[in-house]
């Protein structure tokens, strides 16, 4: 990871709103390519990306819609064990793909997650929560990320949105409170990382998602982070592109059936 809020690639270059490949190339907001994660733009980069995903699919066979997300988590982390850590509620692949097709906003907790979300394959506004809620944080002493989520929710930003939390457990806890109080994101991707409140915050998201019928992707344990959150979000974009191109349907993306 880089220190300026962007995400680094294996080649050492950072992305700027597009997803990078192993050779460090980034994608801008140009035309959609038929490629595993909508990132590569050159012949060599596409070959690397396709080979990488082929190897991931050997580890994570594609038998159900959620296997797409399991594979993407492994691809994003380089850790085959991550496939066993994800948890799903209420058909998140179909819900996320539909939200992308409907051009719903993608709202991340921090800059680093926003920087990792691809700029290709969709026309969704991508925005971050952090930077909002400054006065609320100062008045209450709550974290800036929690305050930023609460302020955006007051404005109705999370209603019908793709809500992504990759870093801050307190942002996930605040989002869970918003859902409990009536906000309905189209889908939640929550993988905050750390030793304090991270696992608990994801458990809280799972509880409110199940209770209120909200689609969600989370993980168990201490692992997580911005890279996997951005990768999972990008896979929802890829699923939407597959629907748009006639390669699958929203109905086929529901449940854990093939």
Q: Which helix (H) or strand (E) holds 217?
A: strand 215-219
Q: Which residues are catalytic?
A: 75
Residues 35, 37, 152, CA angle at the centre, nearest 5°? 140
**Overall residue count recorded for the chain in this entry:** 258
Give the list of residues 6+ apart from residue 105 with CB closer than 8 angstroms, or none.
124, 125, 126, 127, 157, 161, 162
Q: What are 12's strand-pairing partners?
A: none
What one-character DSSP code corresponds to residue 206? H
Task: Give the 3-state secondary structure percentages of the chain, helix then strand then coil, rounded to 5.
Answer: 45, 10, 45
Question: From CA 51, how far away is CA 44, in angstroms rounded?
Answer: 11
């Amino acid at each position: 990871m880089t220190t300026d809020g962007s995400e680094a690639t294996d080649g050492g270059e950072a992305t700027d709103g597009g997803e990078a490949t192993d050779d460090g190339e980034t994608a801008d907001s140009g035309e959609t390519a038929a490629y595993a994660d909508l990132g590569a733009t050159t012949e060599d980069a596409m070959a690397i990306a396709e080979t990488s995903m082929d190897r991931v699919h050997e580890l994570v066979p594609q038998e159900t819609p959620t296997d797409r997300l399991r594979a993407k988590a492994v691809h994003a982390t380089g850790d085959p064990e991550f496939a066993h850590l994800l948890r799903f509620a209420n058909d998140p692949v179909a819900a996320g793909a539909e939200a992308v097709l409907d051009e719903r906003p993608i709202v991340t907790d921090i800059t680093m997650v926003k920087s990792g979300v691809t700029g290709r394959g969709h026309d969704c506004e991508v925005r971050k929560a952090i930077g909002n809620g400054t006065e609320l944080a100062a008045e209450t002493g709550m974290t800036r990320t929690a305050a930023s989520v609460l302020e955006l929710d007051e404005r109705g930003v999370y209603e019908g949105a793709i809500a992504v939390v990759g870093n801050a457990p307190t942002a996930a806890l605040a989002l869970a409170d918003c859902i409990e109080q009536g906000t309905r994101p189209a889908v939640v991707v929550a993988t905050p990382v750390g030793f304090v409140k991270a696992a608990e915050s994801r458990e809280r998201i799972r509880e409110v998602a199940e209770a209120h019928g909200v689609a969600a992707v989370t993980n168990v344990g201490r692992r997580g982070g911005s890279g996997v959150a951005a990768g999972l979000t990008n896979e929802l974009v890829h699923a939407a592109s597959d629907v748009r191109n006639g390669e699958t349907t929203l109905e086929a993306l529901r449940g854990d059936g093939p």
